[in-house]
Amino acid sequence: MSDGFEEIAGGLAAVAKGFHARGWLLGTSGNLSAVVQREPLQIAMSPSGADKGELRPEQILSIDEHNHIVGQQGGKPSDESLLHIRVVKQLGAGAVLHTHSIWNTILSDFYAPQGGVKIEGYEMLKGLQGVPTHEHAEWLPIVENSQDMPALAETIGDTLNQHKAAHGFLLRRHGLYSWGENLAQAKRHIEILEFLLETIGRTLRIREQVL
């Protein structure tokens, strides 16, 4: 494989380890990907069922746009790779990260009747690509969870078409997806959205703005 792949695989493993330490990828949950090349599409992707706290670069898979393994690797691509591929192709993202945190799980359910979480007026929002001020309202859409990945990929594609400014979305009682032009930006977006979701969740309890 190319040098690019190995560097990207090392980066994915490092992010996985850090997020696992924060409790965002427990129990082999979540997955991480980054684009190696566009034409034809090749994506470096964490394998199904791996312990993210001990993920080694050599476990990272290389997949194509149909979620088939490129080359001679072992390991099984996650079914959720289809969602990563969708985000990469539709938005031109260079990296996609998916976390299962306590707070994203709770809020993905709590705000599901509203269809999304509105995050507004926090300085932290400025860290999202293209947001110049805290006077910004980020809408994080919530999509119902499903095990039918091709169908879910379609639903997500439609949702992202309706919310073109979104920097992420939540799967209900499942987790958070975010992305970026590259792995560093995707990591930044996850950290920001996880921070803001926890802030909102803890504020709910103080203000008792229970819906």
The residues that touch its own copies, with contacts defined as CB under 8 A, are 18, 22-23, 26-29, 51, 53, 100, 102-103, 105-106, 109-110, 121-124, 127, 132-135, 145, 147, 171, 173-175, 184, 187-189, 191-192, 194-195, 198-199, 201-208, 210
Nearer to its own copies, 36 or 186 (CB): 186
Distance CA 50, CA 53 (A): 9
Residue 18 has which token pair?
């850090």
Nearer to its own copies, 2 or 148 (CB): 148
Residues 6+ apart with CB under 8 A from 54: 17
DSSP label of 136: -
Minimum Å gap between C-beta 192 and its own copies is: 4
Minimum Å gap between C-beta 3 and its own copies is: 21
Minimum Å gap between C-beta 177 and its own copies is: 12
Chain mean position to CA 25: 11
Nearer to its own copies, 74 or 132 (CB): 132
Candidates 45, 49, 84; CA nearest to 63 is 45
Nearer to its own copies, 91 or 106 (CB): 106
Nearer to its own copies, 64 or 122 (CB): 122
Residues 6+ apart with CB under 8 A from 41: 35, 64, 65, 85, 88, 89
Residues 6+ apart with CB under 8 A from 91: 160, 179
Any idea what the Cα angle at residue 105 is, between residues 140 and 143, rounded to 5°? 45
Minimum Å gap between C-beta 146 and its own copies is: 9
Minimum Å gap between C-beta 109 and its own copies is: 8
